[in-house]
Amino acid sequence: MKKIKINSFLLFFVLLFGATVSAQVKKWTIQECVEYALKNNISIKQSELDARTTDIDKKLAIGNFLPSLNAGASHSWNIGLNQNITTGLLENQTIQYTSASLNSDITIYNGLQNQNRLRRAKLSQLAAQYQLTKMQDDISLYVANAYLDILFNRENLKVQQAQLTNDEKQLVRSQELVDAGVVPRGDLLDMKATVAADKQKTVAAENSLLISRLSLAQLLNLEDFQNFDIADVDMEAKPSAVMAETPEAIVEKANQVRVEIKIAQSNLDIAEKDIKIARGAMQPTLTGFYSFSTRASYSDRVTGATIDAASPTSIIGQVEGTGQNVLQPNYLPVFSKAAPVFEQFSDNKGHNFGLQLNVPIFNGFSARGNVEKSKVNYEKTKNAFTQAKLDLETNVYKAITDAKGALNTYEASLTTAEARQEAFNYAKEKYAVGMMNAFDFNQSQTLYTTAQSDVIRAKYDYIFKMKVVELYFGIPIIQKQ
């Protein structure tokens, strides 16, 4: 009795653990996949970093309007023959000096280059945001395509598995018919070959499903793709209201909402600002400056004078007529220790300020060459803007044509699948009574299975191409909740 209780407890634990693990497997919806990719996809992270770089460039452009301020200090030892800054005499000694300075300058006028650089930085910031939006749209479209690819491979796998199951039943039936002498043994061998081929197709379908899951997991930047799976969704291939619009209306809407045109326009505006910045370098520059400096010495200083006891006087001339010598007292300087450092800093401080004008006259054609290069780049950007509008129009018309073609293909595949199903049902009836050989029966079944796969493929191809048209019309891949 005790053993039965223990086994029951283990069974309960295993079932509970299995249920817990099963519950932990997350089934991702298409909205969850897109939202996760927008936060974690590597390409989007790169675009976000590019946008942050433009924010920094804008701060630097604002900083050009502010004055610069730099402080400096030094302490030196002069050893040997050098001038004493206190006495002005050349002396053979070691003297220490400390100096400090504060410098500032501000650009008053430089051909409006700072103003145009700030405007350019704002345009670059806007272009980076447009580029980020485009990357988000592209990744959303890639995720939707990968998601639909998984759904297609999953349904295709079900079709292959169903065919394998049906052929295995037919193999058993063929064995019975051969044993009863109703059909020849060759039909049994054909059926065995068909079952083997079905197993190969099933394995290939399983691999395709695994690869499509891996592709979507990589787009989401997931590491644990082994446990990644999407929710079971039955997506309908219903027509979109956008297709009721004329191609001209869709193109006009795309020109308004798509960021490709906005990016091209921003790049054109940036190129125009580059011309103005280059022209500004050819104008005079007016700069204001201010500097403060002070110093201190650690050598002895002169504080007074006294008569030279060894030679109190010296003859500097004679009185004309009398010949009397003219004497001058000889003084010797009286030295004392250096004044306190901060007192010297206060006594030796000085200010320097003013304006500096720089007029460019000749600089090796660099300024004028930069203007010409900026003009050439502007023309190239203008051509790129025109090309972007043409490309968008072409892409819209192509998307509309692809969507219409995908719809026609889907409707035709439904008709074909219906006819193949009727033909296969008739073939099963004939094969069951021995009126059809295994080869012809297998051909009919293969045609029906292919038609089923074609329906699934055409269905998801139409859904994706409709998403592309809707995106050009301003309808996002997923609706934000």
Q: What is the pLDDT of residues 381-418, one digit of tens each?
A: 999 999 999 999 999 999 999 999 999 999 999 999 99
Burial class (CB in 10 A: 0-12, 13-18, 19+), 64: middle
pLDDT of 25: 66
Partnered with residue 94 across adjacent β-strands are 79
Spatial neighbors of 325 by CB under 8 A, at least 6 apart, are 315, 317, 318, 319
DSSP state of 245: S
* Mean pLDDT across 294-299: 82
pLDDT of 13: 41
Please give the Cα distance from 326 to 308 (Å, whole number).
Answer: 17
Comparing C-alpha atoms, which of 105, 37, 41, 15 is closest to residue 67?
105
* Mean pLDDT across 371-378: 95
* Bridging pattern class, strands 301-307 and 68-83: unpaired
pLDDT of 480: 55
For the CA atoms of 53, 59, 60, 65, the dihedral, rounded to the nearest 10 degrees, stands at 160
**Mean pLDDT estimate for the chain:** 86
**Strand stretches in 207-330, DSSP E:** 229-230, 285-297, 301-307, 313-318, 325-329
Give the predicted TM-score (pTM) of the model.
0.78
Q: Is the pLDDT of residue 250 over 50?
A: yes
Spatial neighbors of 363 by CB under 8 A, at least 6 apart, are none
* Mean pLDDT across 231-248: 86
pLDDT of 331: 79
The model's confidence at residue 281, banded by pLDDT at 50, 70 and 90, is very high
Domain boundaries, the chain: 26-66+106-285+366-472
Spatial contact of 229 and 28, defined as CB atoms under 8 Å apart:
yes
* Mean pLDDT across 198-206: 93
Spatial contact of 453 and 6, defined as CB atoms under 8 Å apart:
no
Lowest model confidence (mean pLDDT) among 52-66, 140-154, 181-195, 269-283 = 181-195
The model's confidence at residue 297, banded by pLDDT at 50, 70 and 90, is confident
Q: Is the pLDDT of residue 23 over 50?
A: no
The model's confidence at residue 71, banded by pLDDT at 50, 70 and 90, is very high
What percent of the chain has pLDDT above 90?
Answer: 56
For the CA atoms of 183, 185, 186, 187, the dihedral, rounded to the nearest 10 degrees, stands at 40
Q: Which CATH superfamily is domain 26-66+106-285+366-472 in?
A: Outer membrane efflux proteins (OEP) (1.20.1600.10)
Q: What are the phi and psi torsion angles at 480 (to 5°)?
A: -70, 135
The model's confidence at residue 477, banded by pLDDT at 50, 70 and 90, is confident
The helix or strand, by DSSP H or E, that contains position 79, with its residue range, turns out to be strand 68-83
Q: Between 471 and 477, where is the model more confident?
A: 471
Tokens of 178: 């051969």
Q: Between 178 and 157, where is the model more confident?
A: 157
Spatial contact of 271 and 391, defined as CB atoms under 8 Å apart:
no
Length of the chain: 481
Spatial contact of 262 and 123, defined as CB atoms under 8 Å apart:
no
pLDDT of 105: 95
pLDDT digits (tens, 9 = 90+) for 79-88: 877 776 656 6
pLDDT of 300: 66
